[in-house]
Structure 1
Amino acid sequence: MKPYTLPLLLSLLLNSPTSWAGGIEQLKAFVAGSDSLQADFTQQVTGQRAANSQQASGHVMIQRPGKFRWTYTKPYDQVIVGDGQKLWLYDKDIEQVTVKKLDQALGSSPAALLAGSNDIEKAYVLKDAGSKDGLDWLDAKPKSSESTFQSVKMGFAKNELVVMELKDNFGQTTVIRFNKLERNPKLSADQFKFVPPKGVDVISE
């Protein structure tokens, strides 16, 4: 089971107010107030059986709207790049690149919450989910019946997105935790370009 979750996607630190809002307001604040980010992440995917749990880690960069680069370094070498028009998924182990139109790939996926436009509620129904484990939570349910995800939960601490919990239609739960986050860094445009290596299979969808 490989970590093909789009993340996508990601946490942002914003200017800190003197008091902290609920999960929905914190989400809207960091999406509206951040143009770019980079962070390390760990990801755990759990199936219907605990024995199916898979862990991965890597680094993510985002330039809103629509540009991102997820690099998985453990246990697989895998790169997911959104260049603003296309989504590129490169699996080094099997020497294969999959290409999709970015708007179709994002849609109401979790990546749209972080790398898409500011109009979050166009694709999601948002609901505050209270406080737990020192975090303020929100629950986001996609409006589209074609989404592969049932729900996305996001936990914030002082306007910092700390964790995302994604439940898909296949009985899997993906938990992504972020650390060493840098907000609004200057990112090279080359990071969001992808040219398939020579000799790999390229599959267009």
Structure 2
Amino acid sequence: MTRTRILLCAAALLALSLVDIAQAATGPARARLDAFATGLHSLTGHFTQSLTDINGKVGKTSSGTLALEAPRQFRWDTLEPQKQTIVADGSRVWLYDPDLEQVTVRVQSTEESHSPLTVLTDLKQMDKDFKVAEQGEHDGLLWLRLSSTAKDPQFDYADLGFDANGLARMVFRDQLGSTTDIRFSGWQRNAPIPASDFNFVPPKGTDVIGDAPVISTQPLKD
């Protein structure tokens, strides 16, 4: 799964934590979304993800943990089969690849603007930029589909699948026909998250590429 896809998913999850629950549900999947977001300030959990190409070939499954905290912070740690860390601190997104000893830094607002789901924080914006449709029930989940109305959309569609406990899957299909399937488990709602989890400091000797602030380096905390 590419870094861009991971960022899209993380931004989408962050958006879910900010949904205006006063918005009226328009169907059973939307009702599940509203219930999932009620009173939500922070969220931690586990994920597994896979990419299927246009020919139906499934790539290796990766897995890890994630943490999100309103309004703009998230952390996405891929643990298997290769380690990778993505941290959004509220102003920048840090993409760290320990094997390459490299971190790429980007302005967070730029990353968020590419997510097809961040508009879930604003129903009027969602109705303007996306076609939103209930997809019924399949695979034991209720599904909601977002299709961008942009001239050059990043994705063909993004589907959210909900079970009785909340968001269970996210499925993105890109313009080339590849599909990313992300499954979630072990959600912990509103558990305290250390501030240090969202404060990335590049390990000593790491190449830093992009729009990084002036900072000192120190070993990355395990």
Q: Which band: TM-score by shorter chain?
A: 0.7 to 0.9
Q: Which amino acid aligns with 1:119?
A: D
Alpha-carbon offset, residue 120 of structure 1: 5.2
Alpha-carbon offset, residue 79 of structure 1: 0.3
Q: Is 2:189 the partner of 1:183?
A: yes
Q: 1:2 to 1:105 in 2, by over 3 A?
A: closer
Unaligned runs of 5+ in 1: 13-20
Residue aligning to 1:138: 144
Q: 1:84 to 1:43 in 2, by over 3 A?
A: same
Alignment partner of 2:32 out of 26, 31, 34: 26
Q: Is 2:218 the partner of 1:200?
A: no
**What's the secondary structure of 2:47's corresponding residue?**
strand
Q: Is 2:178 the partner of 1:172?
A: yes
CA contact (8 A) 1:86 1:99 kept: yes
Q: 1:126 to 1:65 in 2, by over 3 A?
A: farther
Residue aligning to 2:122: 119
Residue aligning to 1:60: 66
Please list the CA deviations of residues 17-38 of structure 1 after superposition, one character each: whole Å capped at 9, or x if unmatched.
xxxx611232244335311110
Percentage identity across paired residues of the two chains: 36
Residue aligning to 2:24: none
Structure 1 or 2: more strand by fraction: 1
Q: Is 2:42 the partner of 1:40?
A: no
Cα distance in 2 for partners of 1:95, 1:110 equals 30
TM-score in terms of structure 2 length: 0.78
Higher RCO by CA contacts (8 Å cutoff, separation 6 or greater): 1
Structure 1 or 2: more helix by fraction: 2
**How well do the aligned residues superpose, as a CA RMSD in angstroms?**
2.4
**What's the secondary structure of 2:187's corresponding residue?**
strand
Higher alpha-carbon Rg: 2
Cα distance in 2 for partners of 1:63, 1:22 equals 26
Residue aligning to 2:86: 80
Unaligned runs of 5+ in 2: 18-26, 212-222
**What's the secondary structure of 1:182's corresponding residue?**
strand
